[in-house]
Amino acid sequence: MNKIRKSLAGLAIMATMPLNLPAQTLVVKPTAPIAPIQPTMYGIFFEDINFAADGGIYAEMIKNRSFEFYKPLMGWREIRKNETDGHVLIQNREDLHAANPRYASVTVAGNDHPFGLANEGFRGMGIKQGLSYDFTVLARTKNGETINASIELLNANGQQIAKADFKVSGSQWKKYSASLSASQTDAKGSFRILFSGKGTVDIDMVSLFPQDTWKNRPGGLRADLVQLLADLKPGFLRFPGGCIVEGHDLCVRYQWKKTVGPVENREMIVNRWNTEFAHRLTPDYYQSFGLGFFEYFLLSEDLGAEPLPIINCGMACQFNTGEVVPLNQLDPYVQDALDLIEFANGAPDTQWGKVRAEMGHPAPFNLKYIGVGNEQWGPQYIERYVVFEKAIKAKYPEMIIVSGSGPFPDGKDFDYAWGELKKMNAEIVDEHYYRMPQWFLQNATRYDSYDRKGPKVFAGEYAAQSVAIASPDNKNNWDCALAEAAFMTGLERNAEVVHLTSYAPLFAHVDGWQWTPDMIWFDNLRSMGTPNYYVQKMYANNAGTKVVPMELDGKPVTGQDGLYATAALDENTNEIILKVVNASSSEKKVEVAFEGTKKLAAKGRAWVLTAPSKDAVNSLDEPTKISPVEHEVKLSGKKLPLQLKPLSFVVVRIKK
Ligand code: AHR
């Protein structure tokens, strides 16, 4: 398939050769490096929005496994033949188990028919033929009696496609497990547990995981989704958000300490995206924290990415309640930040290092960055940031602190935050821009005038919006992806100032999303990168180590005649890397001249990303319709002729 794609690409290039267009000369100066490109330059922003965690990368298939949703049987349905077969009572033992108070008491009447509960999963369950599934449950019987249990996977028509049996006995809580092997594939399957015998069985933490998780870790992550992240070769992983850090109010802010340790002790809370958008209500969206801070650090390690946790700075989402913690009561929040650093880096004999070690990772995670607050603005943020910075630097002077400049890339609040942070010599400032494609094209020069001696920039959340900010009609189309590619030439050209960048949001379930556009879409079985994903991938896989000048008529290429460009050296592979965007609707012929280089290879490799129209998109049925096509390029001495297709992005690598 790859071979076919490659040769078709070759034909396409020949067929679109312009006849007699004059070539523009782009001059690259590999011997005059401008600045290093940080290894963190192209990273990932992860937030549990759009079913990114529960229902997404966290491979748990049972929704509301511990009956803690606002409505305790949400996602569950009673299965009975007759009214008298049995009933369910939700019990609350808050005094004994504050983090996981509820469980279900299922009473079976002892009729001829079993009685039980069915779970619908996260918009159904993705079940694969031949794959084994690990079932576990915490259970006990009320009076020590023995109750027969059978668990089943069902296809969308309600037919059984896997079954296993076990018995529950004894009045002490025990973990029971069973394995199920599916005889059919179905994206909209479901699960049920049926009890027979006579008596009452208590159940909690009803759990089902596929065995094909990332690195086959039990209770782990969905391998196809992690693979898409791994393919990016990201420089960092920012987690857990996003507004989820802040919470609708402080009560439901993200508290990392409640997300580590045994999963049954992690206190589930509502997901703040649950009812955020009236047009995309998701009342069944909660955070189980099965993907918690330990798992985020582990994921960073697996991906070879620097972990970048963002912590709540004593402020709830300012688009919602905007609650703040009085300054004289900020200590516990600051302590959470300090303890987090100890959790990540402390020796196993420290209080929090011990928790990490007991979870299976005695070695430190080598945390270097920490973000204070997500998208806060105003004096309330600065006042709180100062306190955090002082405390963190006092204990961990080497820690690099990321601060924020609010939700918008300009305006009063943005200017205020930058002004204050600059005065304080802040190290890295996070900027967010959700704007129209045109804005991205016009802002390829945004960082050209940023102070080289001021704080560094983290372009922490950005995505071109095809209709309007967070409009449900936004599409991950080629128009947006190409505008981002053009804009990113400006990020890379300014690597002296811009140290980290990430597209946002990352993931979306096709049936469970709240916000669009998103970089990766999935259903219960399939996943796909959008054109925006491939733009990110082309940048991240070809970052280089130093940015070098690339000029048209002596000036950086920032939109002249629809062209945007940047060049880098990769000192590890001894290559020159070019990234060129042709945002115009006509084909362009350019010649790249390499100034000052002694010798270049006669051939190089190029990856072209383009689409037939601006509104073209990928889909789960055609996931790679818009994806890079590789071909060879030939040099003539120290010159490289390039034909740039209309609306295209190309990356070229040439050995020095
Ligand atoms: O990416 C979606 C949201 O956009 C993030 O949670 C927030 O930081 C921003 O407003």
Give the pLDDT band (50/70/90) at residue 23.
confident
Which residues does 232 contact at the CB level (< 8 Å), separation at least 6? Answer: 42, 44, 533, 536, 537, 540, 541
Cis peptide leading into residue 362 (ω within 30°)? no
pLDDT tens column, 167-200: 999 999 999 999 999 999 999 999 999 999 999 9
Alpha carbon of 561 to ligand 1 centroid (Å): 34
Q: What is the pLDDT of residues 327-378, one digit of tens each?
A: 999 999 999 999 999 999 999 999 999 999 999 999 999 999 999 999 999 9
Amino acid, res. 193: I
| 150's tokens | 């059978």
**What would the DSSP string read from start to end of 197-220?**
SSEEEEEEEEEEEES-BGGG-TT-
CA neighbours within 13 Å on the CB side: how many for 217?
19
Given ligand 1 and candidates 239, 252, 375, which is best to mutate, with the most ligand atoms within 8 Å of its CB?
A: 375
Q: What is the mean pLDDT of residues 568-582?
A: 98
| Residue 444: pLDDT over 90 | yes
pLDDT, tens digit, 9 for 90 and up, residues 94-104: 999 999 999 99
Neighbours of 394 (CB within 10 A): 9
Q: Which residues contact 96 (CB under 8 A, 6 or more apart)?
A: none
**Ligand 1 site, residue 373, Cβ cutoff 6 A:** no
Nearest CA to ligand 1 atom 2: 505
d(CA 176, CA 170): 12
Cα of 80 to ligand 1 centre, how many Å? 44
Q: Taking residues 101-118, what's their average pLDDT?
A: 96
What's the CA-to-centroid distance between 45 and ligand 1, angstroms?
A: 10
| pLDDT (0 to 100) of residue 1 | 36
Q: 558 CB contacts (<8 Å, ≥6 apart)? A: 444, 445, 448, 489, 490, 564
- Radius of gyration for the chain, computed over Cα atoms and rounded to the nearest angstrom: 27
b/e 397-433 (16+ beta carbons within 10 angstroms → b): eebbbbbbbbbbbeeebbebbbebbeeeebbbbbbbb
Closest CA to ligand 1's atom 3: 242
- The per-residue pLDDT for 158 is 98
* Predicted confidence (pLDDT) at residue 19 exceeds the cutoff of 50: no
| Separation between Cα atoms, residue 306 and residue 239, nearest integer Å | 11
516 Cα to the center of ligand 1, angstroms: 11
Confidence of residue 6 (pLDDT cuts 50, 70, 90): very low
> CA geometry: angle at 43 spanning 42 and 48, to 5°?
150
pTM as predicted: 0.96
> Are 43 and 234 in contact, with CB atoms under 8 Å apart?
yes
Nearest-angstrom CA–CA distance, 207 and 96 = 22
Q: What is the mean pLDDT of the chain?
A: 96
Say which residue the tokens 């919470």 belong to: 247
Closest C-alpha to 502, from 458, 559, 456: 458
- The percentage of residues in the chain with a pLDDT greater than 70, rounded to a whole number, is 97
- Bridge partners, residue 546, by sequence: 36, 569
Ligand 1 pocket residue status of 242, Cβ below 6 Å = yes
20 confidence band (pLDDT: 50, 70, 90): low
pLDDT single digits (tens) 445-502? 999 999 999 999 999 999 999 999 999 999 999 999 999 999 999 999 999 999 999 9
Q: Quick one: tokens of 524?
A: 């219960």
Which is nearest to 46 in space by CA: 197, 295, 185, 241? 241
**Tens of pLDDT, residues 404-430:** 999 999 999 999 999 999 999 999 999
Q: Is the CB of 47 under 6 A from ligand 1?
A: yes
Instruction: Determine whether 263 is exposed, middle or buried from the number of CB atoms within 10 Å of its CB (0-12, 13-18, 19+).
Output: buried
- Sole residue written with tokens 């991938």: 537
Pocket of ligand 1 contains residue 516 by CB under 6 Å? no
Distance 543 CA to ligand 1 centre (A): 26
Confidence of residue 108 (pLDDT cuts 50, 70, 90): very high
DSSP lists the bridge partners of residue 104 as: 90, 203
pLDDT of 615 strictly over 60: yes
Between 400 and 18, residue with greater pLDDT = 400
Contact 276 CB / ligand 1 (< 6 Å): no
- Tabulate helix, strand, coil % of the chain (nearest 5): 25, 35, 45
Task: Identify whether 373 is preceded by a cis peptide bond (ω within 30 of 0).
Answer: no
Specify whether the CB–CB gap between 176 and 137 falls below 8 A: yes
Span 277-307, pLDDT tens digits: 999 999 999 999 999 999 999 999 999 999 9
d(CA 324, CA 302): 36
What pLDDT is recorded for position 21?
56
Phi, psi of 351 (to 5 degrees): -55, -50
The full DSSP string for 55-77 is: TTTB----TTTTS-SSSTTTTEE
Would you state the structure tokens that stand for residue 96, as one six-digit string? 């004994």
E strand spans, 390-491: 400-404, 428-435, 456-464
Helix axis angle, 223-232 to 531-541, nearest 10°: 50
Using alpha carbons, select from 65, 64, 62, 75 the residue that is nearest to residue 208: 62
Q: Mean pLDDT throughout 534-544?
A: 98
The length of the chain in residues reads: 656
For the annotated catalytic residues, the residue numbers are: 375
**With 90 as the cut, is the pLDDT of residue 4 above it?**
no
Task: Establish whether residue 505 lines the binding site of ligand 1, counting it when its CB lies within 6 angstroms of any ligand atom.
Answer: yes
pLDDT of residue 598: 86
Give the pLDDT of residue 22: 63
